[in-house]
Amino acid sequence: MAKKKRETIVSIMGIPFKFEYVDKISSEGEHLAGITHPSDRKIQVSTKDNESAELRESTALHEIIHGILYVTGQSELLTSEQEESIVVAIEHGLHGIVDFKEGILPEA
């Protein structure tokens, strides 16, 4: 993984998650736009795969939803495929109506 960018703490239902932008994310040979490490309470968003602010916000929202499912225990009830399809549906449904307050996410 390449060098890290700015980071901040995002509270997911009162649980602090370290949120950071990185140049590139690779996992098991795949390049990813974002990733949530629930047990480490860490979210990463790739700046290379999310060049526009809109894509970064969408990916951040996607990863935060993964965090919500983890914190609430719902991810334990779902297969990876089920969780991903639910997260994508919620992300697309919310992205158009969620207004990210300035300073909520670090600048990339």
Rounded CA-CA distance 13/73 in Å is 12
Q: Give the CA-trace dihedral at 42, 106, 73, 78, to 10 degrees.
A: -90
Residues 9-40: pLDDT tens digits? Answer: 999 999 999 999 999 998 887 889 999 999 99
The answer to whether the pTM exceeds 0.85 is: yes
Residues 48-58: pLDDT tens digits? Answer: 999 998 899 99
The architecture CATH gives domain 4-95: Orthogonal Bundle (1.10)
Domain ranges of the chain: 4-95
Residue 92, pLDDT score? 93
- The burial of 3, by beta-carbon neighbours within 10 Å (0-12 exposed, 13-18 middle, 19 or more buried), is given as exposed
Side chain identity at residue 40, one-letter code: D
Any idea what DSSP says for residue 10? E
CB 20 within 8 A of CB 2: no
